[in-house]
Structure 1
Amino acid sequence: MLVASCTSLPVGHARNRYDAKGQRHGYWQEYFDAAEMHVANRGRYRHGRPVGLWRYYTPAQQLERKERYLRIPAGQLSITYYHPNGQIARQGRAQYVLRPDGAQFYWFGEWKRYSAIGRAEASEYYVNGQLLHKNQ
C-alpha cells in the first residue's frame, strides 16, 4: 500500500527553520489552525529528511500515529497507528522514498493489527506497498 505523500499542512510554526539550501532542518511543528492551538504534527528534519520520532495528531488532538525513522537501514521507519481510544491499531514498517515530486512511503513486511480493545487480529503482509495476504 502506498501510504501517503508528504505535503505541507497550511500552517507551519513560526520557529520552523530551513538550511542554506532551503530544505527543512531542525525541530518542526505544524498546526491545523493559524492560532497555533491544534498541533497537526511534530518532529525533526535533517537537511530535508525526517529523522527520529514524529507524532501526528487528529484535529481533536488525539494521537493518530507515531513514525520512527531508523538510521540503519537508512530510509526505513517503523509506524504505529492508534485507535481513537488510544489503543494500538496497527504496527509495521515502511520504506521512505524521496522523489522530485515529493516523499512516498511503501509498507513492507508484516503489519500487526489490533482491535480497539487491544486484541490481536490477522496480520497483513506487504511487498513494495502491495498487500500479499492476511493471516486468518
Structure 2
Amino acid sequence: MQKISLISLIVLLLASCNTKMNQYIKDEKNVSKRHGKWKEEYSSDEGTLIAIGKYKNGEKVGIWKTTLNNKLFQKDKIKKNITKTKIYHQNGNLMQSGQSKMDVSKNERHWYYFGDWKFYNEKGNLQYIKKYEDGKKVDSISFEKH
C-alpha cells in the first residue's frame, strides 16, 4: 500500500511540474503578453538559432540561452532592465561580453550598450575593449600585436 501511495505521489508531482511553453497572458487592457517559459526559433544565413528563456508579463527575465546549429551561441542574464551578454565563437570560446540596458517609457523603448564590451579572437585571446556610455562608443583599447 505504501508503495502505491509513493508512486501516486511521484506521478502527481511530475504531472504538476509540466510547464507549458509559449503561453500568453492578458494585461489590464486585455493585451496579450508573453509569459512563462518560451522557445523561439529563427533562421539565419549561418543556420538555425533557437532561444530558450522566460518572459514575465511580456518582458524577458532570467537566463536566456541561444544556440546556433545546436551549439551555444549567446547567453544573456537579464535582471530588471540590465542584460549581461556573452557571445561565443563556433569553437566554444568567448567572442564578446558586455552589458546593455533597456529604458522603457510610456511612448518608447530605448536599448543601448554601456560599460566595457570585450572582444576575443577564436583562440580566446582578448583583442580589444570598446567603452560605451549611454549607447555611444567613447573609447576603444586594442590588445592586438602588429
**TM-score category (smaller protein):** 0.7 to 0.9
Highest relative contact order (Cα 8 Å, sep 6+), 1 or 2? 1
What is aligned with 2:86?
80
Q: Spell out, residue by residue over 1:58-116, the C-alpha distance to the aligned partner (whole angstroms, 9 max, x if none).
A: 2x23222111002xxx3011000111111101111100234678755311001112111
Out of 61, 64, 72, the position equivalent to 2:73 is: 64
> What TM-score, normalized to structure 1?
0.73
Q: Give the direction of change, closer, same or farther, for the CA distance of 1:69–1:85 in structure 2 (3 Å limit).
A: same
My pick for the range that moved more, 108-117 or 96-105, is: 96-105
Q: Give the direction of change, closer, same or farther, for the CA distance of 1:121–1:108 in structure 2 (3 Å limit).
A: same
Out of 97, 120, 126, the position equivalent to 1:120 is: 126
What is aligned with 1:7?
none
For structure 1, the residue ranges without an aligned partner over 5 or more in a row are 1-13
> What TM-score, normalized to structure 2?
0.69
Q: Paired residues, what number?
A: 115
Q: Spell out, residue by residue over 1:14-72, the C-alpha distance to the aligned partner (whole angstroms, 9 max, x if none).
A: 83101122110000111248xxxx662110001011100001222x23222111002xx
What is aligned with 1:97?
103
- Counterpart CA distance in 1 for 2:108 and 2:88 is 25
Out of 29, 35, 53, the position equivalent to 1:25 is: 35
Root-mean-square deviation (CA, aligned residues, Å) is: 2.3
Is contact 1:29–1:39 with CA below 8 Å preserved after alignment? no
Residue identity (%): 25
User: Which of structures 1 and 2 has the bigger CA Rg?
Assistant: 2
Q: Give the direction of change, closer, same or farther, for the CA distance of 1:99–1:111 in structure 2 (3 Å limit).
A: same
Q: Which has the higher helix share?
A: 2
Q: Give the direction of change, closer, same or farther, for the CA distance of 1:118–1:45 in structure 2 (3 Å limit).
A: same
